[in-house]
Amino acid sequence: MARTILVLGAGKSTSYLLDYILKKSNVENLQLVIGDLHPEHISKEFSSHPNCNVISLDIFNDQQRKKVIAASSLVISMLPARLHIKIAEDCIYFKKHLVTASYVSKEIAALDGDAKKQGLIFLNEVGLDPGIDHMSAMEIIDRIRNNGGKMLLFESFTGGLVAPENDSNLWNYKFTWNPRNVVVAGQGGAAKFIQEGTYKYIPYQKLFRRTELVDIADYGTFEVYPNRDSLKYRDAYGLQNVLTLYRGTMRRVGFSKAWQMFVLLGLTDDSYTVENSEGMSYREFLNLFLPYSPTDSVELKLRHYLKIDQDDIRWGKLMELNLFDGTKKIPLKNATPAQMLQYILEDSWMLQEDEKDMIVMYHKFGYEIDGQKKQIDANMVVLGENRTYTAMAKTVGLPVAIAALQILNKEITSPGVQIPIKKEVYEPILSELKSYGIKFKEHQVPYLGYNPDSIAN
C-alpha cells in the first residue's frame, strides 16, 4: 500500500519539494496529495503525474481538512505560519507526523508533550532560514566541540537576492520570496544581539543604517543588517556563554541606505489604512507623507525632506521605481502604507520568467582550542534556474522533502516538536543536499573577535 504524503499549500517555494517527492514516488512507494485553495494554479507537470492527486482544499473547512489529514501518512504544511496550528492539532488527533519550514510558534511548541506521547515527529524550521542555517551551523559547532574547542563567536547571515546575470536595477534587488516579508522586515521590536559580551539593541528606525560588510569569493561584497532577535537560538545551539551571537539579512551594498528612505517617510508602516487608497497614483501616495506646499513639487519636497541631491544614487533608485508617476494607479482598497509600497515595488522587482535568483548564506565560527583562538568562515551560494525553479524554492523545499522521507523511512525517529539541530536529523539531510549543489565552502581564517569597524560600535 502506498504511503501518502499530504502537502498543504503549493506556493512559490514548493516546485523542488513536489518534484523531489514525485521522482522518488515509484521507488519509495509514495502517493502525493496536494491540497490548495487554487488547484488550477498547480503546474500540469505535477498534476498529471500518475502518483499525484491535486485537490481543492479550504483549510478552514474542518470536515474536509480532517478527512485528508486522516488519510495521509505524513503532512507537510507550506501554508502561512499562523495556519499551522490547525494542521498540527489534527495531526495529534489522527497520529500523523508533521513537517514545516516555519518558525516554531508558542502554540506549536505547546504540543510537544502530546506529540511525544503519540510518538510523533513535528519537525519545524527545516527550510532555508530557518533550516539549512541551523543544520550547517550545528554540523560545524558539533565538530568544534567534539575536537575539544570552546565556542566564542557565532554569526550567521542569509540573503535571497537576484543572480548576478539578472542584476539589472539600481537597487541590485528583485523579489525572490514573499514580498510582504521584505517590506515589513525588522518591525515589531528592536533588533537584539550580543557582541564581545555586550548586549546591543537597534530600534527599527535605525536598523538599516547599522550594517556591516562581508565578502564572498567570486560574488563580491554584501552588506548585512541585524535580524530582530539573534538571541533566541542561544539555548538551542548551546551557545549560552559565547561572547558574540549575531544573525542578519544580506543585501547588496547600498540597499539598506536606500531602504532607510522608505522607513523615514513612513511608507513601510503596516499599522493603519489609508483613506481612498484605491485608485491613488504612485505620485499621490508619495505626497501623502510630505509637507504641504502651495508651490514646491513632490520631487523638491522629497529631496528637501530626505536631504538628498539629484546626483545622489538614492535619487536614481527612487526614480527607477516610478514613484513620481501620476498615471500609474494603486488598485488596493483600504490598504496600509506597507501594502501600497509593496504593490509599487512588485511593479518593478518581480523576476521575469527566464530570470534567476540567488541564495547566499555566510557563517562565522570563532572558537578557542588548546589555548589558541581560531575562526572558520563558511559560505554557500545557490543559483536558481528560472522564475519557477528558484534557488529559494530549492533551498526551502528540498530539505523539507528530504526530512519527510527520512521520517517515513524511520531514519529520523526522535519524537516531539523540534528543529533540525540533532545529528540524526541534520547529517543525512545535509549529505543529500550536497548532491543537489547545496553545500558550504569552509575557510580557516584568523580569529577577528572584536572588530572596531563592525556593527557593534
- Residue type (1 letter), 438: I
Strand 74-77 vs strand 3-8: parallel, antiparallel, or unpaired?
parallel
pLDDT tops 50 at residue 455: no
Does the residue 353 lie in any domain?
A: no
The model's pLDDT over 105-157, given as tens digits with 9 standing for 90+, comes to 999 999 999 999 999 999 999 999 899 999 999 999 999 999 999 999 999 99
Residue 450 pLDDT? 53
Would residue 170 count as lying in a domain? no
d(CA 396, CA 83): 18
Q: How far apart are CA 47 and CA 32, in angstroms?
A: 10
Mean pLDDT value across the chain: 92
281 and 330 Cβ atoms separated by less than 8 Å: yes
Under a CB-based contact definition with an 8 Å cutoff, are residues 7 and 51 in contact? Answer: no
For residue 58, give its domain range: 3-124
pLDDT tens string 236-258: 899 999 999 999 999 999 999 99
317 inside domain:
yes
Q: How many CA atoms lie within 13 A of 148 on its CB side?
A: 4
Q: pLDDT tens across 61-108, in order?
A: 999 999 999 999 999 999 988 899 999 999 999 999 999 999 999 999
Looking at residue 41, what is its pLDDT? 82
Lookup: cell for 73: 501518512
Domain boundary among 317, 335, 353: 335
Q: Which three cell numbers stand for residue 43?
A: 503546474
- Of 285, 302, 335, which residue is a domain's last? 335
198 in a domain, yes or no? no
Per-residue model confidence (pLDDT) at position 456: 41
Q: In sequence order, which residues have a C-beta less than 8 Å from that of residue 120 and are 6 or more positions away?
A: 91, 92, 95, 96, 97, 98, 415, 416
Strand 150-162 to 357-369 pairing:
antiparallel
> Does a structural domain hold residue 7?
yes
Residue 162 grid cell: 537576484
pLDDT of residue 25: 93
Q: Output 380-385 pairs: Cβ under 8 A, ≥24 positions apart.
A: 380/132, 380/136, 380/438, 380/439, 380/440, 380/441, 381/216, 381/218, 381/219, 382/358, 382/437, 382/438, 383/163, 383/356, 383/357, 383/358, 384/163, 384/176, 384/356, 384/357, 384/358, 385/356
Asked whether residue 453 carries a pLDDT value surpassing 50, the answer given is no
Nearby residues of 284 by Cβ (< 8 Å), 6 or more positions away:
326
- Give domain status of residue 96, yes or no: yes
CB count in 10 Å sphere of residue 309: 8
Q: Which residues are 8's β-sheet partners?
A: 35, 77
Q: Which of 68, 64, 67, 113 is nearest to 92 (CA)?
A: 113
Residue 183: inside a domain:
no
**pLDDT tens track for 323-360:** 999 999 999 999 999 999 999 999 999 999 899 999 99
What CATH code is carried by the domain that includes residue 47?
A: 3.40.50.720
pLDDT at 2: 79
Cell of 409: 523511512
Q: For residue 456, tell me if it sits in a domain.
A: no
Is 60 exceeded by the pLDDT of residue 454?
Answer: no
Could you tell me what percent of the chain has a pLDDT over 70?
A: 98
What is the mean pLDDT of the segment spanning 288-297?
93
Q: What average pLDDT does this structure show over 391-419?
A: 95
Q: Is the pLDDT assigned to residue 295 strictly greater than 60?
A: yes
**Residue finishing a domain among 335, 360, 377:** 335
Look at the chain and report how many structural domains it folds into: 2
Q: Within a 10 A sphere around the Cβ of 344, how many other Cβ atoms?
A: 19
Q: At residue 270, does pLDDT exceed 60?
A: yes
81 is written with which cell numbers? 505560519
